[in-house]
């Protein structure tokens, strides 16, 4: 009886350790570039907090996928110049399928020598999907570059985001 119990526990342990590998084998990758600008931004200074601003923003753009597909993308979120930002990106595809990505960051910040760009990364989770993305689950990263040499582009919040992520569908 003890040998059977040990064998069952060992088999369960092997099955549990192999299951993530099977899920990863079914994972789809998604990579796209998003060129966007701020459509609306409102911010206020925080009283008694030197240099701290909080606010909301609405960013719109076009996502260009590595397979040639495009999607309109609307990003809405909140920001705190001391604690970072969070929000959602809504992607709408030509076939009517949609994706909702939840993001929070920055997870890293970089300003290369010369000050031409400000860069940062954002952690992303697939929150919801419709059509061919129904039952989506996964994670990814936005890597951003914002031009810092042109006051007009800087003021309008132009940015290039490169997204890389992996997802699964519960129907798989």
pLDDT of residue 10: 56
In a domain, 3, yes or no: no
Q: Characterize the bridge pairing of strands 70-80 and 53-65.
A: antiparallel
In a domain, 147, yes or no: yes
In a domain, 96, yes or no: yes
Residues of the chain with pLDDT under 70: 1-25, 171-172
Domain count, the chain: 1
Question: Which range marks the domain in which residue 104 is found?
Answer: 28-169
pLDDT of residue 3: 63
pLDDT of residue 26: 81
In a domain, 150, yes or no: yes
Where would I find the beta strands (DSSP E) of the chain? Answer: 28-45, 53-65, 70-80, 84-93, 98-110, 117-130, 136-147, 159-169
The pTM of this model reads 0.80
In a domain, 133, yes or no: yes
pLDDT of residue 5: 54
In a domain, 55, yes or no: yes
In a domain, 5, yes or no: no
In a domain, 112, yes or no: yes
pLDDT of residue 156: 76
Domain of residue 40, CATH code = 2.40.160.20
Task: Give dist(CA 153, CA 41) in Å, integer.
Answer: 15
pLDDT of residue 148: 82
């Amino acid at each position: 009886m003890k040998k059977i119990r040990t064998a069952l526990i060992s088999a369960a342990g092997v099955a549990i350790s192999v299951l993530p590998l099977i899920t990863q084998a079914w994972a789809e990758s998604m990579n796209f570039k998003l060129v966007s600008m701020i459509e609306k931004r409102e911010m206020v200074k925080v009283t008694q907090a030197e240099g701290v601003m909080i606010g909301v923003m609405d960013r719109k753009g076009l996502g260009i996928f590595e397979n040639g597909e495009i999607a309109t993308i609307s990003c809405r979120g909140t920001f705190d110049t001391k604690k970072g930002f969070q929000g959602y990106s809504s992607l709408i595809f030509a076939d009517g399928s949609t994706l909702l990505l939840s993001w929070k960051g920055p997870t890293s910040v970089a300003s290369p020598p010369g000050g031409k760009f400000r860069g940062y990364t954002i952690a992303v989770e697939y929150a919801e999907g419709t059509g061919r993305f129904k039952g989506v689950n996964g994670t990814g990263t936005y890597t951003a570059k914002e031009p810092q040499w042109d006051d007009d582009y800087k003021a309008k919040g132009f940015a290039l985001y490169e997204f890389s992520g992996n997802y699964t569908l519960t129907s798989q």
